[in-house]
Structure 1
């Protein structure tokens, strides 16, 4: 008797473990950030998150959805690699030890890899828990079959994956993700929902992944006294002294002739007193980058994301389809039809992306692009507006600008405000200010950036600061606040808030 390998039920324990680990890791990272943001806001200090976005980031669903980014990258990668090795030990070799012992060596090597810059808690837990949980799940659920299959037939399931990978690799060029966003994600309700969910829920995961120096709100405690001027300079670089009882990112202490910077994800790193006195914020950023112990974990996430996410999607489609076909056909036919259908579906999804790339490489002559600005075809209008935003000198009239900004196409509105930021004009200044009320967060993010670029050249810095500050304080969207905060820093010293 033969039963299908229950791939999804085998993977589920490892993926659930990944979700739990990611949620706890995100909560541990974001909890002190949120509490410090509340305290800083009460003290009149502007930082992000701020106001409504604090409640957004503190919500339970934010952490659960943000954790999916880890599940679909490092969780999927570790789970699938372990499943493949455990499956091979059960089916491809006469003695499991031939694969079990080398796999155990890889597991130990993974633990050493994530801790090569020093011990780190959560990366160690990822490496320590997910592989053995998935291995045990695979061995326990692997069905016994009376049907003898050749190794070739067993490995034949990899052929569609190889074909899809070869078809996808040429698309990973510069600009392709922008094409996907403009032509697919921002052109339909489903795409807009996916885009909005990505930008709304990924900020906490990004905070976990980013080096401390790259974060907007960075906290410290210090055993050495710091002058008010030094603390003010640190605040200008995003460093804030944490409140008692809250876990800081770093701890600053004196050790001999040096100041030592340490933290839960940092190696103790020394900086000279002269370097710190000259530029304290820059010195702390440099020290946290030099002492960062999370680099190998970031590399692991990227390594697992590229194969892990697509293969997991393939498995989620293949396994149910194979079950359905098995009600009608025999096992080999059911597997073949499910593989063929998944392959054709994957190729049909990839095919439009080739045409997107061709559209991006379309006509570049100004006289042709000027006619495209008034075209009935969305793709031609978008191509011309994007070319204008990237520096191509076209005759973009106010009629075209107003039509785009008042239209229903978020991609056209996005590239129109990009153009207004790159080509500042007193005539079009009010159009930029009005774009701050756009319903699409991508457009608002680009608008505050465009305002910060155009305002100094038009001598409208104060008006831009006031408009961007209002947007920051009113928005509940974390990325809108992040872009607005960056824009305010670009325009000058951050204002205090009442």
Structure 2
């Protein structure tokens, strides 16, 4: 498959597989939606601490002189998505302030120590070190990744071979030609899959040619070509390109095309109302991009509708995008500090 993709000038990536094999058909969309709805829960078990969706911490000081750092440390933790809770038994990690030091503990087990000033100045680095020290599933995650990259194609190959052999046995094909027939059908199957991926766009295409090609794709309603063009765009958008994208977005029902059109339009201001319409889209990937685009609009007036949307959203993946959009817009967690 890799050789064929190289020979045909087509790129096969995880993003391309999602766009052109999963989201291009109803069964694939169902698998895609199941992934985004349910994988948070098993994924949380093996994620490193820094990537967990919910991170709770308990902060306390052992000496009166250390209390002056308490609120500053709380604000730093909140800024890096750690929810400060009042009960140590509710927390994933405890931060104990002790004589200019911060002790990171999990279940009363000391993980690491650092200076308070170092923590305040290099918060991201310190929290990253803590995440690495508590990560015991790195090898397991690597095995899962390898199983997806290597094991999944092998499994598909084995299933396909067995189904073809079973079919050949049912129709009583002679043994001397059955092998070649199986291989021929299998190669044809792979070629068909490869040709689901559109050809690459030349890196040397200039903006004038890009705009002309994009207009042509819109006229032909060629969503595959449109998606490849939108992925490759790295110029300053023109008014013509923006108008074509808006017109196409209002006319198409294809989730992949809507995904990339919204992402394309997110680079220009003034489309907030358009993006809000797609918060109710039936496709989770489109909703994620709509929320992402709202965060790119730099309009703090969008914070309230995003919060309202977030409170009713059932998808953890969309919730993550909404939270990132809120932070991009300058929203802060104003939860009172509990001491």
Aligned to 2:129: 286
Which stretches in structure 2 are left out of the alignment for 5+ residues?
Answer: none
Superposition pairs for residues 432-471 of structure 1, below 5 Å?
Answer: 432-455=275-298, 460-461=299-300, 463-471=301-309
Is 1:357 aligned to 2:191, yes or no? Answer: no
Aligned to 2:258: 413
Shift of 1:244: 5.6
Distance 1:493 1:370 in 2: 36
Q: Structure 1 pair 261/343, CA: closer, same or farther in 2 (3 Å)?
A: farther
Aligned to 1:341: 185
Shift of 1:220: 3.4
TM, length-normalised to structure 2:
0.76
Is residue 242–residue 248 contact of structure 1 (8 Å, CA) maintained in 2?
A: yes
Distance 1:172 1:246 in 2: 56
Is 1:203 aligned to 2:203, yes or no? Answer: no
1:312 to 136, 152, 155: 155
TM, length-normalised to structure 1:
0.55
**Which digits, 9 at most, give the CA deviation of each residue in 1:236-267, with x for residues without a partner?**
31223467696754344579985443559x99
Aligned to 1:484: 322
Distance 2:110 2:11 in 1: 35
Q: Structure 1 pair 234/170, CA: closer, same or farther in 2 (3 Å)?
A: farther
Distance 2:45 2:251 in 1: 38
Is residue 269–residue 291 contact of structure 1 (8 Å, CA) maintained in 2?
A: no
Superposition pairs for residues 11-410 of structure 1, below 5 Å?
Answer: 164=1, 166-167=3-4, 176-221=13-58, 224-225=61-62, 227-241=70-84, 248-252=91-95, 259-263=102-106, 268-278=111-121, 283-326=126-169, 328=172, 337-353=181-197, 356-358=198-200, 364=206, 365-369=209-213, 371-372=215-216, 374-378=218-222, 379-387=224-232, 390-391=234-235, 393-394=237-238, 395-396=240-241, 398=243, 400-410=245-255
Distance 2:242 2:124 in 1: 45
Distance 1:167 1:247 in 2: 53
Count the aligned residue pairs.
Answer: 323
- Provide the alpha-carbon RMSD of the alignment: 3.8
More helix by share: 1
**Which digits, 9 at most, give the CA deviation of each residue in 1:73-111, with x for residues without a partner?**
xxxxxxxxxxxxxxxxxxxxxxxxxxxxxxxxxxxxxxx
Is residue 237–residue 282 contact of structure 1 (8 Å, CA) maintained in 2?
A: no
Shift of 1:482: 0.8
Q: Structure 1 pair 334/487, CA: closer, same or farther in 2 (3 Å)?
A: same
Is residue 11–residue 199 contact of structure 2 (8 Å, CA) maintained in 1?
A: no
- SS of aligned partner of 2:200: helix
Distance 1:276 1:442 in 2: 37
- SS of aligned partner of 2:113: strand
Distance 1:171 1:246 in 2: 58
Q: Structure 1 pair 295/168, CA: closer, same or farther in 2 (3 Å)?
A: farther
1:422 to 267, 272, 280: 267
